């Protein structure tokens, strides 16, 4: 459960970091399609990057920093002594328990996510009811038009466009050109992905800022699409100002009033950004790399050895019933006369091997694994106590 909490925190931090990069590099540009791709990509990256980071290792620390870390006690002496092996057998760690903060946090997140997703589902259901209760007015360039008096401003979802009969009669060509842009540019799919992801991150204010930015980009792109059609381009901004006084009914659908009027008018008349400024999107690779590196788990330090064992603890109480395995090689009790357990540097256990009648080779012991009768029977099919000794290479 603690892992889920860390995933949510990492996902929220990644989204915030990437959106900050977007706001610095692309927010003021007129590359609306590129901005759509980047915003949707930020959402997907924030969901997938913590999963990828869990499988990666953070680069090892520099030698000087690793030495400094090893010289700093990581636990009080009493705790270190409690993990010291006894009679050559390492003590098993206590079972991991879920911290209270993780359990409470996940319960709170689940309640918030359920409420946010339920509200979103209700908005989709409300749109469905508007379609069902409305009057089918035919099709226009792939858009299915539905007339309904209950909508103050036109809204669209998938290929459906809902408009009031009064709006259709007064400014139908202008309004339908705008909604047609939402449909033909497939804005629904961007919204579907981001709406669900943002509601899963309901606790993250940056996620809601991203969703609001995506809605604005959709409006900019639909405005541009409408102005490129055969409509009265002078009347379109006037209609935009008049309709800005109404509030849309369906937060799940694309509508006429989801972006501040001043910003929309500014984008409509803003000169096109220089094509080379698209390359500014590449700067987002930097925060993505930082997030990936920060969430990767630390690499194991090969130079750090476990706490040494007393050499005397390696001698079994009943040598006859003991089987030694030294670096993968089984050694019988009688052959153990060629080996001696000693302590070097006053604390490091080592194994001496008789090479010649008067020559001994010394090698420090890296790890000792003890299998008692039951485990030895299950793993190695032997009734003896097994002591496996792994030496430093």
Q: Which parts of the chain register pLDDT below 50?
A: 64-65, 68, 71, 73-94, 247-250, 300-309, 311-313, 316-320
Can you give the pLDDT at residue 259? 57
Can you give the pLDDT at residue 280? 92
**pTM metric for this prediction:** 0.66
| Tokens, residue 304 | 């750090």
Can you give the pLDDT at residue 82? 39
At residue 244, what are phi and psi to the nearest 5 degrees? -65, -15
Can you give the pLDDT at residue 254? 59
Can you give the pLDDT at residue 92? 45
Can you give the pLDDT at residue 171? 86
Can you give the pLDDT at residue 55? 67
Q: Which residues neighbour 92 within 8 Å (Cβ) at sequence distance 6 or greater?
A: none
Full 3-state SS string of the chain? CHHHHHHHHHHHHHHHHHHHHHHHHCCCCCCHHHHHHHHHHHHHHHHHHHHHHCCCEECCCCHHHHHHHHHCCCCCHHHHHHCCCECCECCCCCCCCCCHHHHHHHHHHHHHHHHHHHHHHHHHHHHHHHHHHCEEEEEECCEEEEECCCCCCCEEECCEEEECHHHHHHHHHHHHHHHHHHHHCCHHHHHHHHHHHHHHCCCCHHHHHHHHHHHHHHHHHHHHHHHCCCCCCCHHHHHHHHHCCCCCCCCCCEECCCCCHHHHHHHHHCCCCCHHHHHHHHHHHHHHHHHHHHHCEECCCCCCCCCCCCHHHHCCCCHHHEEEEECCEEECCHHHHHEEEEEECCCEEEEEEEEECCEEEEEEEEEEEEECHHHHHHHHCCCCEEEEEEECC
Can you give the pLDDT at residue 225? 93
Asked whether 164 and 152 are in contact (CB, 8 A), the reply is: yes
């Amino acid at each position: 459960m603690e892992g889920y909490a860390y995933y949510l925190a990492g996902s929220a931090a990644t989204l915030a970091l990437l959106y900050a990069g977007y706001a610095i590099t692309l927010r003021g540009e007129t590359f609306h399609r590129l901005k759509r791709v980047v915003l949707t990509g930020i959402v997907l990256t924030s969901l997938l990057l913590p999963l990828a980071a869990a499988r990666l290792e953070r680069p090892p620390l520099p030698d000087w920093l690793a030495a400094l870390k090893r010289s700093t006690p990581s636990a009080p002496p009493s705790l270190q002594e409690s993990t010291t092996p006894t009679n050559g057998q390492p003590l098993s760690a206590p079972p991991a328990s879920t911290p209270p903060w993780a359990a409470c946090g996940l319960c709170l997140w689940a309640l918030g996510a359920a409420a946010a997703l339920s509200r979103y589902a209700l908005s989709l259901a409300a749109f469905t009811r508007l379609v069902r209760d409305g009057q089918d007015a035919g099709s226009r360039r792939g858009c299915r038009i539905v007339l309904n008096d209950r909508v103050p401003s036109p809204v669209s979802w998938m290929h459906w466009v809902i408009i009031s009969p009064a709006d259709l009669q007064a400014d139908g060509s202008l309004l339908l050109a705008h909604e047609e842009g939402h449909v033909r540019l497939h804005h629904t799919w961007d919204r579907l992905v981001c709406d669900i992801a943002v509601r899963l991150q309901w606790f993250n204010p940056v996620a809601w800022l991203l969703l609001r930015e995506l809605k604005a980009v959709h409006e900019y792109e639909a405005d541009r699409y409408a102005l490129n059609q055969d409509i009265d381009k002078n009347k379109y901004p006037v209609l935009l100002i008049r309709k800005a006084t109404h509030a849309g009914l369906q937060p799940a659908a694309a509508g006429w009033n989801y972006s501040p009027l001043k910003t929309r008018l500014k984008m409509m008349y803003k000169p096109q950004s220089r094509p080379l400024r698209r390359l500014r999107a590449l700067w987002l690779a930097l925060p993505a790399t930082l997030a990936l590196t920060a969430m990767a788990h630390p690499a194991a330090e090969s130079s750090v050895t476990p706490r040494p064992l007393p050499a005397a603890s390696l001698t079994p109480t009943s040598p006859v019933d003991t089987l030694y395995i030294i670096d993968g090689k089984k050694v019988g009790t009688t052959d153990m006369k060629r080996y001696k357990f000693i302590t070097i540097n006053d604390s490091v256990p080592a194994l001496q091997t008789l090479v010649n009648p008067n020559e001994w080779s010394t090698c420090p012991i890296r790890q000792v694994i003890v299998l008692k009768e039951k485990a030895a029977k299950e793993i190695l099919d032997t009734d003896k106590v097994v002591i496996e000794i792994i030496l430093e290479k």
